Structure 1
Amino acid sequence: MQHKKSVMRNKFASLLVLSLVTVVLSITDPGDLDVLMQFRDGLENPELLKWPENGGDPCGPPSWNHVFCAESRVTQIQAQGMGLKGSLPQNLNKLTMLNNIGLQRNQLSGKLPSFSGLSNLQYAYLDYNNFDSIPADFFDGLDDLEALALDHNNFKATTGWSIPKALQNSAQLTNFSCMSCNLIGSLPDFLGSMPSLTNLKLSDNKLSGEIPNTFNGSVLQMLWLNGNQFTGPIDVVATMESLTVLWLHGNLFSGPIPDNIGNLTLLQDLNLNTNNLVGLIPNSLANMKLDTLDLNNNQFMGPIPMFKASNVTCASNKFCKASQGLPCSPEVMALLRFLRGVNYPSRLVSSWTDNEPCNWVGIRCNGEKVSIINLPHYNLSGTLSPSVANLDSLSQIRLQSNNLSGPVPDNWTSLKSLETLDLSGNNISGPLPKFGSTVKLLIADNPLLNGDKNAPSTGDNAPSRSSGFPTNSRSTSSKGSGSSPTDSSVESTEPKGSKQSTFVSIVVPVASFVVLAFLVVPLSIYCCKKRQDSKLAPSLVIHPRDLSDSDNAVKVVVASNTKGSTSALTGSGSASRNSSNIGESHIIEAGNLVISVQVLRNVTKSFAPENELGRGGFGVVYKGELDDGTQIAVKRMEAGVITSKALDEFQSEIAVLSKVRHRHLVSLLGYSIEGNERILVYEYMSQGALSQHLFHWKSLKLEPLSWKRRLNIALDVARGMEYLHTLAHQSFIHRDLKSSNILLGDDFRAKVADFGLVKLAPDGEKSVVTRLAGTFGYLAPEYAVTGKITTKADVFSFGVVLMELLTGLMALDDGRPEETQYLAAWFWHIKSDKEKLRAAIDPTLDIKDETFESISIIAE
């Protein structure tokens, strides 16, 4: 009996010891447990975590789902992509041993708790939630932080916020991502000098200013600054030799691409789309073996080089030729190098396009050779280029009253036809080269030339003051006919203050003006009379307007009646007509490409049926191919549909696409207006419309779209529509978003097309339209019933497209059972029933559980 009692005592002692060991090894720190309980209590749907409601031990055994521990302390919380709703506990930073938290892609909201003092934290992923504020001390004490993602949280929506300096103390940080999180202000200096930072993604915020010089030589490998409001040059990025991906698109960067961009030998992806970058493409860039290079929608000039990059797009620039490898004329290149020397002033950049310099502002020609550069009072700064010496027919150079500096190039003395060189009123420095005795040299008011012993002082080269009376840069002269521009300078060898000099400098311009008035006014009346009496065939004339006008545009006049009368239509669509006009005049932004119908006939083989891509309400779309192999899509309005409505849509398409440029909106490459022809030319999208791949893939012998491709397409469309609604310089409503208006390229990336029904978004909450636009099945109910139009109408249409992507069913199909004919209404009823939802998913999709979870989230 005694033995049995002893055995029982030993067993009890053993169990007690074992229990105590278990308690010691597994009971979670009470403070950590309290934080986790508060985390669960703050959720609207805590059941998704599958944590026990009462009791239990987060650190186990068994441990709670999504929680990881070391001994008794919580070290990780991994609950990403679960659809969690609610807020986080504000004392989350009491989990002092936390080193990894993954809560991305949920629906968490409210104030983000401070992470101050989490000195062990290495990885924090909080992106794609709905947090609305971030505390000022969030970044304090994050000594070991290596990766932080805060993307797509609208922090401080009304005021915006800036990255605190405390982040610079996280010396181990390698990845920082804060895309679409409402950042404002300038790019913090310290980000450029952080020793470990290799990936920096700050896309789609409201950051402004220039890239700081502290980024010079940065170790960054990936830099995303796209979709902000950055300005200034991009020279500093050429020193960041570790870069592999550089995205600067959708900003306001200006100036040329730096010549040393070729130093970025590791770079694979460069996107400069939609900026104000100008100038010649450096040879070093052309020779870079990039995977992707996007130069669209800038003001690049000169020839398009033969790029070595695998995928290059460079549309909507100011190149002299349309194809790679074609040279500009020598005179164009000489003038563009002059333009580079004076820092590409915007007034000239907007005019100096194509390969015909005789039409450029400030340039005159004798025959087809440049004879005069006339750019006084243009606020030019920079230096004079030796390239001007290549303009061998140049007779006058008039650059007075600017801010030019540096010497006059020695080789300008080789200009054998030069008669007048007016550099007065600048900051030219010496020594001056020796020009021939026939050259009138005007160099007064250049402070750095005062006392220059080498400056000529007598004879025809005597320094003289220009009167500043500018010659009309738009007029032309012909030396052979004996006419020449009025000389605006007055020679004088007398000292300043001479009464005679003052008298002459006043009287000569006035007398010249009077003489010109007597000559020009009768001549103008005569020309107008002749123009009214002449009969003109249907034609197209382009008149560049005065570039001193800030609203500079190109006026396209199409004379359609026998008397050549026209009507005016402004860019906003307002029109004024006289009683007999049947022609049109459109104001289109400078830079649009006007293409002759004959060229389009050639590239489409006279609009051959075998080149037909599709038909629509507007007309027929044809495939065309340029001489260099570039493929284009040519949309031709059929004669039978040329109604006022169709013309409105044609003009709307041009007006909108000349103002909005985005990688997920189809680019308009050109247009043609000749007689009854109305033609639009777009980039060619080789995979056609999304609708073909969703609804007709079998008959067209296509592969069904994978779920990953459908997700990418949805994201592409969302980004394009976001730009149209909020990021463009004006807000637009598409009004006809549908799967047949979403086009796919070689890589199945999507672009929104067909802007004929686009409407400028109202300043107020809504706008009432009298004529319904769009396609049934995609129309928002409130728009269809009331006619009240907002950007929400596009959001509804996008939702219908998402339903099509999920189900593979058309938005409206009377061939389906009655309850499923209208996709939006049917889907709304079944989306919350997981079994019905799973049955509704396109059967071509290979649905795994995790994929179905993401589909369920999208469906909601």
Structure 2
Amino acid sequence: NNITGTVPKELAELPALRKVDLSNNNLYGKLPEFRKNVEVILDGNPNFGKPAPAPGPGGSSNDTKPGDESGGSNKRSSSTGVIVGSVVGAVAVLGLIAALGFYCYKRKQKPSGRVQSPHAMVIHPRHSGSDPDMVKITVAGGNANGGAATSEPYSQASSAPRDIHVVEAGNMVISIQVLRNVTNNFSQENILGRGGFGTVYKGELHDGTKIAVKRMESGVMGNKGLNEFKSEISVLTKVRHRNLVSLLGYCLDGNERILVYEYMPQGPVSQHLFEWKEHNLQPLEWKRRLSIALDVARGVEYLHSLAQQTFIHRDLKPSNILLGDDMKAKVADFGLVRLAPADGKCVSVETRLAGTFGYLAPEYAVTGRVTTKADVFSFGVILMELVTGRRALDDTQPEDSMHLVTWFRRMQLNNDTFQKAIDTSMELDEETLASVSTVAQLAGHCCAREPHQRPDMGHAVNVLSTLSEVWKPADPDSDDSYGIDLDMTLPQALKKWQAFEDSSHFDGATSSFLASLDNTQTSIPTRPPGFADSFTSADGR
């Protein structure tokens, strides 16, 4: 890491510490006294044990000889001139220093697009509210030889200076060696999938926790890839929702840029929707598709309106929707997420279009300006895919039906053609067909050409929840003699239960019990002696 300085004694005070690897740095000074069970590795520190290097000269002073006290007023005039000249010179020097400082500050404010390894660290002192198992370390960008720092923060929301990275030990930073071990050195057998900026691997930690490791390809990690990496960390550390994939940690080691997520064992929805035969899966039934649509709608609704800030995903599609063992869906891949302005107006997207063709809203594709309604359009396309089982863009289809949204609108014109558009792998009955028709109408509204004609995600959640979470009472069992007749009074019901218990020991007791239901006076207990006829609030107190 090219860390320079002394080893802070606070590290030796961490009670859960077992191993400290400080190899290949530029450390000096004495080593704090660690516990006997702590392994300390200091290889590759040639200056360790030596005293700190002496600071450079702070400047020189010129000796001055006292002037001759003779000369009277001429000498006093000369002294006044010297004082005035000194003041003017000092003001000029201070102005020059201020201008130089402002220039350096403005240069620091400009993002360099590069992240340089840190060189020095500062240990923050503990306070009464500190976690005893955690120490907060500030790693500052700087050159050991006096060069200018060129790093910038990994989190866009950081309030620290742009050349300072704040790391909390034991929080979200994961060692590259740990990730190599759990993925078998990023072996081909552990690959879950590939994306535009890297490969996703499956891993398992020592405690049995399964993780998904997204490793950015160094060859494509330019400014754009680095921005997506930072964006994903920034967003996922701010939002937590049951329908959004959780970020477990990240790794920054040399050229390595790695994100670690919770593992979603059933993979993306696209496999179950378009490739179920190739993967020997069962086709999704309609109730499951409804549940997936509702999960996605709730996750996107949270991003749009329920989080502390409004986020626009910009890349909603089935391959970015992952399924757990319970087939619950979660939205993933937040590399293209943008923060919407507080006033709700359009936000300009930098330089180039981002997203996936087939899911892009028309106004976004034409103008490059995006609002939350662009996500609504993408969600509408996903609904159409769930209904039809067809991809948003399918080059195996004829040219006039290659684009799903255009083809779907034509098929919705009459009932006969619409039923032909429904995925044939689903079993349809009258109730299911009505539900599919409602979702198809919602999909059409979400894919309206004008943004203001599209509903918000809250409306989509309301529509889908009424279809997916319909409560129905259980069918009554006419032979269930334990059932409760709601027309009975409580004394009558108690007497009936008592008689039924007696009937299990005596034949014919049931008929006598039914005949005696008319007289219920004896089942009401008499009032004890001295018991008041009524009570007031004062009696209760």
- Change over 3 Å in CA distance of 1:547–1:743 after alignment to 2: farther
1:367 is matched with 33
The 1:833/1:710 distance shift into structure 2, 3 A limit, reads same
1:766 aligns with 2:370: no
The alignment of Structure 1 onto Structure 2 pairs a total of residues equal to: 329
- Tell whether the 8 Å contact from 1:539 to 1:675 is kept in structure 2 after alignment: no
1:450 is aligned to none
Q: Which amino acid aligns with 1:712?
A: S
Residues 827-838 of structure 1: pairs in structure 2 closer than 5 A: 827-838=408-419
Query: Per-residue CA shift, 1:102-161, capped at 9, x if unaligned?
Result: xxxxxxxxxxxxxxxxxxxxxxxxxxxxxxxxxxxxxxxxxxxxxxxxxxxxxxxxxxxx
Distance in 1 between residues matched to 2:304 and 2:276, nearest whole Å: 31
What is the alpha-carbon distance in structure 2 between the residues aligned to residue 601 and residue 562 of structure 1? 33
Identity, % of aligned positions:
59
Corresponding residue for residue 152 of structure 2: 568
Other-structure match for 1:736: 315
Paired residue for 1:97? none
Say if 1:567 and 1:739 are closer, same or farther in 2 by CA, change over 3 A: same
Cα RMSD over matched residues? 3.4
Residue 569 of structure 1 and its aligned partner are, at CA, apart by 2.5
Pair 1:774–1:670, CA change in 2 (3 A): same
Q: Does 1:712 align with 2:378?
A: no
Residues 712 and 826 (structure 1), Cα distance of their counterparts in 2 relative to 1, 3 Å cut = same
Which of residues 675, 700, 704 is equivalent to 2:279? 700
Q: Which amino acid aligns with 2:250?
A: Y
- 2-structure distance, mates of 1:608, 1:594: 22
* Residue identity matched to 1:633: A
Equivalent residue in structure 2 for 1:596, among 168, 175, 181: 175
Aligned to 1:644: 223
What corresponds to 2:261 in structure 1? 682
Aligned residue for 1:17? none
Q: Give the letter aligned to residue 806 of structure 1.
A: V
Q: Verify the 8 A CA contact 1:614 1:621 in the aligned structure 2.
A: yes
* Partner AA of 2:295 in structure 1: D
**659, 665, 669: which one aligns with 2:248:** 669
Matching residue's letter, 1:571: S
> Structure 1, residues 596-635: CA drift from partner, whole Å, max 9, x if none?
1110000000011011111111111110011222211111
1:753 corresponding residue in structure 2:
332
Are 1:607 and 1:622, in contact at CA under 8 Å, matched by a contact in 2?
A: yes
| Distance change in 2, residues 1:608/1:557 (3 Å) | farther
What is the correspondence of 1:512-661 to structure 2 with a 5 Å cutoff? 555=138, 565-569=149-153, 571-572=155-156, 586=165, 592-661=171-240
Going from structure 1 to structure 2, the CA distance change for 1:366 and 1:677 (only over 3 Å counts) comes to closer
1:819 equivalent in alignment to 2:403? no
Letter matched to residue 636 of structure 1: R
Q: Provide structure 1 residue ranges, at least 5 long, that are not aligned to the other structure.
A: 1-330, 334-353, 359-364, 370-536, 579-583
TM-score scaled by length of structure 2: 0.55
Q: CA deviation at 1:808?
A: 0.7
Structure 1 residues 420-442: Cα deviation after superposition (integer angstroms, max 9, x where no partner): xxxxxxxxxxxxxxxxxxxxxxx
Matches within 5 A, 1:97-246: none
1:772 shift after superposition: 1.2
Equivalent residue in structure 1 for 2:385, among 804, 829, 837: 804
Report the residue type matching 2:200 in the other structure. V
In structure 2, the residue matched to 1:850 is 431
Give CA-to-partner distance per residue, 1:739-798, whole Å, 9 cap, x none.
100000001100000000000011232112232111100001011111221111111111
Which amino acid is the alignment partner of residue 714 of structure 1? A
CA distance in 2, matches of 1:774, 1:598: 33
Task: Give, in whole Å, the separation in 2 of the partners of 1:553 and 1:733.
Answer: 32
Q: Judge conservation of contact 2:318–2:382 (CA < 8 Å) in 1.
A: yes
2:90 corresponds to: none
* Cα displacement (A) at 1:689: 0.5
Contact 1:620 1:636 in 2 (8 A): yes
| Cα pair distance change 1:739/1:562, threshold 3 Å | farther
One-letter amino acid of the structure 1 residue matched with residue 424 of structure 2:
P
Using the TM superposition, give the Cα deviation of residue 829 of structure 1 relative to its aligned residue in structure 2, in angstroms: 2.4
Q: Relative to 1, partners in 2 of residues 1:699 and 1:543: Cα closer, same or farther, differing over 3 Å? A: farther
Q: CA–CA distance in 2 between the matches of 1:701 and 1:561?
A: 58
- Tell me what 2:364 maps to: 783
SS at match of 1:828: helix
**What amino acid is aligned across from residue 361 of structure 2 in structure 1?**
A
Q: CA deviation at 1:830?
A: 2.0
Against the structure 1 CA distance between its residues 645 and 687, is the aligned structure 2 distance closer, same or farther, given a 3 Å change threshold?
Answer: same
Q: Does the C-alpha gap of structure 1 residues 559 and 673 become closer, same or farther in structure 2, counting only changes over 3 Å?
A: farther
**Cα gap change, 1:557 to 1:778, in 2 (>3 Å):** farther
Flag the 1:850–1:654 CA change in 2: closer, same or farther, 3 A.
same
Match of 2:420 among 820, 826, 839: 839
Specify which structure has the bigger relative contact order, considering alpha-carbon pairs within 8 angstroms and separated by 6 or more residues: 2
Q: Give secondary structure in 2 for the equivalent of 1:663.
A: coil
- Cα distance in 1, alignment partners of residues 154 and 203 from structure 2: 31
Show the 5 A alignment for 1:308-387: 367-368=33-34
Structure 2 gaps of 5+ residues are 1-12, 21-30, 36-115, 130-134, 442-541
Residues 716 and 355 of structure 1: is their aligned pair in 2 closer, same or farther, counting only changes over 3 Å? farther
8 Å CA contact retained: 1:714, 1:802: yes
Q: Which deviations, in whole Å up to 9, do the C-alpha atoms of 1:282-302 show, x marking residues without a partner?
A: xxxxxxxxxxxxxxxxxxxxx
Q: Which residue of 2 aligns with 1:691?
A: 270
User: Equivalents in 2 of 1:812, 1:586: separation in Å?
Assistant: 43
State the SS of the aligned residue for 1:692.
helix
Larger radius of gyration: 2
Measured in 2, the distance between the counterparts of 1:710 and 1:591 equals 39
State the distance in 2 between where 1:624 and 1:791 align. Answer: 34
- Counterpart contact for 2:118–2:139, Cα < 8 Å: no
String of CA shifts for 1:227-278, please: whole Å, max 9, x gaps.
Answer: xxxxxxxxxxxxxxxxxxxxxxxxxxxxxxxxxxxxxxxxxxxxxxxxxxxx
What is the SS of the residue equivalent to 1:729? coil
Structure 1's 553 and 628: CA in aligned 2 closer, same or farther, altered over 3 A? closer
Give me the whole-angstrom Cα distance separating, in 2, the residues matched to 1:614 and 1:738: 15
Given that 1:544 and 1:553 are in contact with CA atoms closer than 8 Å, whether structure 2 keeps it comes out as: yes
Letter paired with 2:347: S
SS at match of 1:568: coil
1:693 Cα deviation after fit = 0.8
Tell me, in whole angstroms, the C-alpha distance in 2 between the residues paired with 1:560 and 1:611.
Answer: 38
Return the letter of the residue paired with 2:372: T
Take 1:560 and 1:801, find their aligned partners in 2: how far apart are those partners? 50
Counterpart contact for 2:167–2:173, Cα < 8 Å: no
Deviation of the 1:709 alpha carbon? 0.9
Q: Which residue of 1 aligns with 2:7?
A: none
CA deviations on 1:784-824 (whole Å, 9 max, x unpaired) are 11122111111111111111111111111122111211111
Tell me if structure 1 keeps the 8 A contact 2:358–2:392: yes
Query: Which residue is 2:374 aligned to?
Result: 793
